[in-house]
Copies of this chain bind each other. A is one copy, B any other.
């Protein structure tokens, strides 16, 4: 915990002092981010670091494997859907970025279904959102005699497409997209090479930015 406290002290004495006016303005006027970024909890892919972002710039939702479940308005506690609704209906963001990444532990659990995440209370149920990504990846790679690593990479990228597809099941997302008021983007970060890819709407493939 000392690391965190030390980090806070550095932030407090440098960044906060340099941006005091920004924080005061953000506190009094409220936030008006233009972007909802949906990323993974993974400690290695922090959106603020990867996009060198300033406070107030992105509304950031982070869960395991950057997944969005399909629209299901019922009495349950839907944390991800609530955050999506807050950003889109409450803050009127203009862009949603789903940011996938290489070496995702959630995807590994989904593909391998073993080790630390077997017989879980919640992880397997949550990753079930991406089961079609796993099945597609395994169908293609196993048929081609590819190693499991190829399936993993394909699955990591497909989770991004699944979240985009599920976003369109929310009526107020679809409406805004159809009206041209909201744009959905699929991105993928390779933490080893430091490359950023985006899901190209013409080729349906991830292209380096």
Contact = CB atoms under 8 A, between A and B. Distances in A.
B64 A83 contact: yes
A194 B12 contact: yes
Counting from the closest, the 9 A-B pairs by CB-CB distance are: A82-B126, A144-B201, A135-B168, A135-B165, A140-B201, A27-B192, A7-B51, A7-B52, A82-B122
Contact of A51 (B4, B60, B77, B146): B4
A69 B79 contact: yes
A8 B51 contact: yes
A140 B15 contact: no
B203 A205 contact: yes
Contact of A85 (B123, B138, B139): B123
A111 interface: no
Contacts of A28: 192
B57 A43 contact: yes
A60 B39 CA distance: 10
Contacts of A143: 177, 182-185, 201
Contact of A56 (B16, B44, B125): B44
A194 B16 contact: yes
Given A62-B61, A79-B126, A177-B138, A185 B86 contact: no
